[in-house]
Amino acid sequence: MKAYFLGWTAQYERRFIAYLAISQPVEVLAPPRLAQRVQRKIQSLNKRLGGVRVSDGWLGRVVCRLRNAGPADLLVCNEGQVRRNVNPAIVRAFPGRKVLLVRDLVDAAFLSEVRPLFDAIYSFDQQQCEALGMRPLNQFFPLGFTETGRDVARSTVTGHVMKCFFLGRDKGRAAMLEALAQSLRASDCEPDFYIVRDETTNMVTPYHVADVMDYEQNLAHAQQADVLVEINQPGQAGVTLRTLEAAYFGKKLITNNGAVKSLPLYHPSNVYVLSDDGNADPQQLRAFLRAPLVALPDNVLYRYSPDFMLEQLLADARAAGSNPVAC
């Protein structure tokens, strides 16, 4: 069984796929540019024709044949790209098992549209799974389990000036982050914040920047920091990549996600949960920053690795056999 990854275009996504491909039959299914151009021509033609539509099914079948996809293979799709360009035609034409990984918040209308295309739909957010009928799957760290240097990263807090890293789009979080930065400074921790301006930006802070940094720069800042910050969107309760960066790199985490307390990754010396209004208690924050970091067991970290993710998808595919499994 070979696993084809469709719609995984971000730098960090290509990185974990390349890692898996070292030891597993895995590859990116990137549609040829010619196929993408043909798809755009078909879409343009269908707009002009009105009620009569030209099918793109043949184009999806051609792409699958070019990549030697067979009925025993697995297609793993990224929800953020599944409706783009020629991707829907490829999904419909793929001859093997097809699964969708939902990495963001979606609604019932989206699932109603895409559910007929897939044998199974997974989400990294347990609340979403319960509300919308998806299958739970652990969020996974983009670096492979054997390449993160965890033994080197795990260190207790030393006497140097601590640094706390945040990177993300504004999304209305600037006021909360500015208040947190003040609390950190009062606790002798220097905020290394990068708030990327977006349409929600309505106040200017010293931490606002115009552009997001690339993934390698993000990793460098995360590895150099002592503490990482995640501020989730309302309704988001799943494990974020920032939570996994903290766990894998041996960093402390400050978060507004109370659901993290129920995870195997949680330890009160490692994770500080902000109050419901996003504030930090000064005494508790200072005590948290001074407490030694507690190393997490490898068997816990492994459950949030791309290695484990692929193992679970392949095991589910083999268990399902030739019979589609309900999403």
Residue 212: what pLDDT? 86
- Out of 3.50.50, 1.10.8, 3.40.50, 1.10.1060, the CATH code matching 3-140+305-320 is 3.40.50
Other Cβ atoms closer than 10 A to 325: 15
CATH number of 150-298: 3.40.50.2000
3-state helix, strand, coil in the chain (%, to 5): 40, 15, 45
C-alpha dist (Å) from residue 80 to 2, 108, 268, 291: 22, 15, 34, 39
**Which residues on neighbouring strands pair with residue 80, listed in sequence order?**
none
Instruction: Compute the average pLDDT of residues 12-26.
Output: 93
User: Is the pLDDT confidence value at 157 over 60?
Assistant: no
Q: What is the DSSP string of 170-223?
A: -TT-HHHHHHHHHHHHHTTEEEEEEEE--TT--S--TTEESSPPPHHHHHHHHH
Residue 60: what pLDDT? 93
Residue 150: what pLDDT? 52
The pLDDT tens digits of the residues spanning 196-252 come to: 999 999 988 999 999 989 888 998 999 999 999 999 876 666 688 899 999 999 999
**Would you say 291 and 269 are in contact if contact means Cβ atoms under 8 Å apart?**
yes
User: Is the pLDDT confidence value at 131 over 50?
Assistant: yes
Residue 21: what pLDDT? 94
User: Is the pLDDT confidence value at 156 over 50?
Assistant: no
- Report the distance separating Cα 59 and Cα 66, nearest Å: 11
Q: How confident is the model at residue 74 (pLDDT cuts 50, 70, 90)?
A: very high
Residue 181: what pLDDT? 95
The pLDDT tens digits of the residues spanning 159-209 come to: 578 999 999 999 989 999 999 999 999 999 999 999 999 999 998 899 999
Instruction: Compute the average pLDDT of residues 87-109.
Output: 94
Residue 188: what pLDDT? 93
10 Å CB burial of residue 85 (0-12, 13-18, 19+) is middle
Q: Residues of CATH 3.40.50.2000 domain(s) within the chain?
A: 150-298
User: Is the pLDDT confidence value at 44 over 80?
Assistant: yes
User: Is the pLDDT confidence value at 274 over 70?
Assistant: yes
